[in-house]
């Protein structure tokens, strides 16, 4: 009896420890007002923190959409904006040419709130039941993409479009399945791709050559 109680206590301690370790891997709740990252990854000493640590012009300018997707994402995450460190938020600006597409991708560490600044954008995400939820949104309108789910943004308007993607993570991460399949280093084995896509090697090679530059 005593030994059973002891082992259940040990199990509970182990679960707590696992939860603490898992917690350390996600965006923490801040333990202090701020922790501006210094280049070594520690907090900058408070005496050295200046107004500009809390400022970024990273997304102030339009980015070139002269690429095959007609889209360009400009990120203000902790790697370019150290003041975001430990705060659990970040933002990306996306410029879309007419017909431009931010191709299907997901963010493993964040939900995403999309707000259109100008133009008309179709936002859609796929649930884990493969149901597609989508809507065309316009200036100042919002659409939310739940954490980790695959989504896309397509410019359905006549002119350029710009939207903001706001994240509940200082570093949401991006996984784009087309790149994760066709432009990995080293290359994904041919057999994995032919079997995944039910295609022949010639078709896979054609896809690979399209994605070679990304």
Largest CA distance in the chain: 74
Residue 155 is a binding residue for ligand NAG (CB under 6 A) = no
User: Is omega for the bond preceding 186 within 30 degrees of 0, making it cis?
Assistant: yes
What are the backbone dihedrals phi and psi of residue 174, each rounded to the nearest 5 degrees, phi first?
A: -135, 130
DSSP codes joined into one string, 155-205: E-SSS-EEEEEEESSSS---B-HHHHHHS-SSPPPHHHHHHHHT--HHHHH
Nearer to ligand NAG, 64 or 140 (CB): 64
Residue 102 assigned to a binding site: yes
Q: Is the dihedral of CA 106, 167, 100, 184 positive or negative?
A: negative
Q: Which residue is nearest to ligand NAG (CB)?
A: 63
Nearer to ligand NAG, 34 or 69 (CB): 69
Residue 105 assigned to a binding site: yes
Q: What mask of x and - would describe binding to ligand NAG in positions 52 to 91, judged by CB under 6 A?
A: -----------xx--x----x-------------------
Least distance from ligand NAG to the Cβ atom of residue 125, Å: 23
Nearer to ligand NAG, 27 or 95 (CB): 95
**Binding-site ranges for ligand NAG (CB under 6 A):** 63-64, 67, 72
């Amino acid at each position: 009896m005593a030994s059973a109680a002891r082992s259940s206590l040990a199990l509970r301690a182990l679960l707590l420890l696992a939860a603490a370790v898992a917690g350390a891997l996600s965006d923490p709740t801040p333990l202090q007002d701020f922790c501006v990252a210094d280049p070594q990854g520690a907090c900058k000493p408070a005496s050295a923190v200046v107004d500009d640590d809390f400022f970024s012009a990273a997304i102030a300018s339009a980015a070139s959409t002269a690429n095959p997707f007609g889209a360009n994402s400009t990120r203000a995450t902790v790697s370019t904006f150290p003041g975001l460190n430990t705060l659990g938020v970040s933002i990306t600006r996306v410029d879309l040419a007419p017909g431009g597409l931010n191709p299907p991708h997901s963010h493993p560490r964040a939900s995403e709130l999309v707000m259109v600044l100008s133009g008309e954008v179709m936002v859609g995400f796929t649930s884990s039941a493969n149901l597609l939820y989508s809507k065309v949104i316009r200036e100042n309108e919002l659409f939310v993409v739940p954490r980790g789910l695959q989504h896309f943004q397509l410019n359905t308007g006549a002119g350029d479009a710009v939207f903001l993607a706001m994240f509940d993570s200082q570093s949401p991460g991006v996984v784009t399945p087309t790149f994760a399949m066709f432009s990995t280093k080293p290359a994904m084995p041919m057999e994995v791709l032919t079997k995944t896509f039910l295609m022949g090697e010639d078709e896979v090679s054609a896809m690979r050559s399209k994605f070679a530059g990304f």
